[in-house]
Chain A
Amino acid sequence: EAQVTQNPRYLITVTGKKLTVTCSQNMNHEYMSWYRQDPGLGLRQIYYSMNVEVTDKGDVPEGYKVSRKEKRNFPLILESPSPNQTSLYFCASISRDSYNEQFFGPGTRLTVL
């Protein structure tokens, strides 16, 4: 079954404590992306990766890092989380063969106190 997995699904942390949200896909897609979803703002792209070792900033990259060491994994790293990063985060794996269809993970709800 084609799927995108994210972990953890829920996380409550404190300001400044480094954290990583993992994302993995089994569809062999080269293109992956991270979004945050906030009320009234929709989904905003944080970072994306067109292939292994290739990453680019999206619209809201400040305070985030990513890495793409292998095709299936695309972790999102918050080196020093702040309360304004409290949000719902989605990872997506994207098929270039079907007009960029995005397959989303189940989401990670992050609260930074």
Chain B
Amino acid sequence: TQLLEQSPQFLSIQEGENLTVYCNSSSVFSSLQWYRQEPGEGPVLLVTVVTGGEVKKLKRLTFQFGDARKDSSLHITAAQPGDTGLYLCAGVGGNQFYFGTGTSLTVIP
């Protein structure tokens, strides 16, 4: 089993603060995905990063894929209450997906 460790597991911050979520593994992945999941719903894809060192921006969210394609980070600038949710990373290896343990983010107004 290829494990992905996410940190922190829980994060509670004030509106307007910045934060970074990390997704680390000892395995190499062909690509890495980030999802957000709301209570009672399935995860929804935010972004896929494919190339080592790649940086993608989605409004206030910045995603980076490590040079060795083993790790990734998600940085949120000026967090808003609407960012509250469970953030999941998923490594793609062959035809399988390996999810991280998740980071539960709460943004307090």
Chain A residues near B (Cβ < 8 Å): 4, 31, 33, 35, 40-45, 48, 50, 56, 58-59, 90, 92, 98-102, 104-107
CB of A43 within 8 A of CB of B1, answer no
CB of A99 within 8 A of CB of B96, answer no
In this assembly, does B109 line the interface, its C-beta being within 8 Å of a C-beta of chain A?
no
Closest beta carbon of chain A to B90's beta carbon, Å: 8
Range for the number of chain B residues in contact with chain A: 20 to 34
Q: Mark B43-56, 1 if CB is under 8 A from A, else 0.
A: 11100101000000
Chain B residues near A (Cβ < 8 Å): 1, 4, 6, 31, 33, 35, 40-45, 48, 50, 88, 90, 92, 95-102
Alpha-carbon separation in the docked complex, A56 to B94 (Å): 12
CB of A41 within 8 A of CB of B40, answer no
Alpha-carbon separation in the docked complex, A107 to B86 (Å): 15
